[in-house]
Amino acid sequence: MGSMKTLKVALLGCGNVGAQVARILIDDAEVLAARTGARLQLTGIAVRDVAAKRTVDLPAELFTTEAEPLIKDADIVIELLGGLEPARTLIRSAIDNGAAVVTGNKALLAADGQDLYARADEAGVELSFEAAVAGAIPLLRPIRESLAGDRITKVMGIVNGTTNYILDQMDSTGAQFADALAAAQELGYAEADPTADVEGHDAAAKGAILAELAFHTPFDLANVQCQGISSITADDIAAAKDAGYVIKLLSIAERLRGLDGREGVAVRVHPTLLPRQHPLAAVHGAFNAVFVEAENAGEMMFYGQGAGGAPTASAVLGDVVSAGRRMVGGGPGRTETATVQLPAVGLDSVKTSYYIGLDVADQPGVLSQIAGVFAEHGVSIETMRQTIHAEDPHDTANDGGQVTAELRFVTHRASEASLAATVEAVRGLDIVNAVISVLRVEGI
């Protein structure tokens, strides 16, 4: 290894992931050098507070508050600061200096990725971001390279560990949302302010990046249709379970034709019923998975840790070794794949299935009336289940008061617009006391 080239690596940020990246760069230097074909020398770690306590013991002399000099001297810059600034300015500076950039910053990529990709392309440097979506799960290379001879049509991801943990708890213990959230907070799976996770904002940002990855197109976060899980009740989960489904929060990106006939991309995040036999249904706890449908390859799934220091650090280092190999051996960087400009398509154009739970009067002709409304809107019913409720025991008048029933429908695929119109029309029927739940169904 005497004649081996040395590549200088600058690390920006030393949180959970950054500290693990530094540890691995130091402890596994030999293995990394053999894989890269060059020594990877960690030249410094830029942080806000040099004296702050780290999760890993690292040499004090590596720390500095001055990021710019580190960047100017580096072959590879690893950005793990998170947030928009100063991350954006520092990444631009690294690109301007001709360094390869590896980042795990999904917020920045979702907000400003296209500008950064364009700058990297222009400068002829590599910008890689395996760690930004689904933590340790290898997605970038399988999707960009292994499937380069195929066409991806749809991607469905469980990409937020917090909400998957909460829904999995509700499913396995029957807990209500609030209790499962509290349990997740206690275990450190959910933050004190869980809004970004439970309302689907984090999953939306990752959905936009997934769409960009899968369809080689820019996708604006503002065009993601997003619904969180805070309104999911223990009853919803129990009813779904009873019918053979599990409820998961999915980020779904698909390539389809819009109402104007043009091909485009729709991205949506919402709680979704999945058959319990579906591979995504077996993703438990805080794990992540991305399910991909391609024209020739068919169905695939990639499963793994979505977060955590060491797992995410593994993804960062995969990118670092790849970038290093290219510096040693030459070859195409991120510019290698053609980019197209596909328009964002609204939810109206998406075809999906609905699960609809209704509280109805238990009297003859109810089902036929409701089925008529479905038919009018061109929505056909895949399955129907009826549960008769016992008469209210508190109704001591024994006046033959209304006995109610619960009807649960799963529809065949239909346009979102027809389904929404169907639900509204059904809601208007006299015999319908309440629409208990409306959830989308995938995987059937």
Choice between 20 and 163, CB closer to its own copies: 20
Cβ neighbourhood burial of 270 (10 Å; 0-12, 13-18, 19+): buried
Contact 109, 92 (CB under 8 A): no
- The amino acid present at 193, given as its one-letter code, is D
Q: Which residues bind its own copies (CB under 8 A)?
A: 20, 24, 28, 31-32, 34-37, 130, 136-138, 140-142, 145-151, 277-279, 281-284, 287, 289, 294-305, 308, 310-311, 313-322, 325-326, 328-332, 336-338
Q: How far is the CB of 263 from its own copies (least distance, A)?
A: 13
CA dist 423 → 273, 376, 404, 426 (Å) = 17, 12, 19, 5
Contact 48, 65 (CB under 8 A): yes
Catalytic residue check, 106: no
Q: How far is the CB of 185 from its own copies (least distance, A)?
A: 23
Choice between 92 and 241, CB closer to its own copies: 241
Choice between 87 and 152, CB closer to its own copies: 152
Q: How far is the CB of 204 from its own copies (least distance, A)?
A: 24
Contact 97, 73 (CB under 8 A): no
Q: How far is the CB of 298 from its own copies (least distance, A)?
A: 5
Contact 272, 160 (CB under 8 A): no
From the candidates 8, 72, 206, 248, which is the catalytic residue?
A: 206
Please list the helix, strand and coil fractions of the chain in percent, rounded to the nearest 5, in that order.
40, 25, 35
Choice between 123 and 301, CB closer to its own copies: 301
- Rg (the chain; Cα; Å): 25
Residue 433 to residue 358: CA distance in whole angstroms: 8
Q: How far is the CB of 364 from its own copies (least distance, A)?
A: 38
Closest CA to 251 of 236, 270, 234, 265: 270
Strands (E), 276-309: 287-294, 298-305
Instruction: Count the alpha carbons within 13 Å of 122 in the hemisphere toward its beta carbon.
Output: 10
Choice between 117 and 287, CB closer to its own copies: 287
Per-residue tokens: 303: 């499963």
Q: How far is the CB of 21 from its own copies (least distance, A)?
A: 9
Q: How far is the CB of 248 from its own copies (least distance, A)?
A: 13
Residue 338 to residue 175: CA distance in whole angstroms: 47
Q: How far is the CB of 406 from its own copies (least distance, A)?
A: 29
* 3 state DSSP class of 439: strand
Choice between 11 and 140, CB closer to its own copies: 140
Q: 10 Å Cβ neighbour count for 173?
A: 13
Residue 11 to residue 17: CA distance in whole angstroms: 11
Choice between 27 and 376, CB closer to its own copies: 27
Choice between 242 and 299, CB closer to its own copies: 299
CA dist 398 → 19, 203, 205, 335, 431 (Å) = 70, 51, 55, 76, 21
Residues with catalytic function: 206
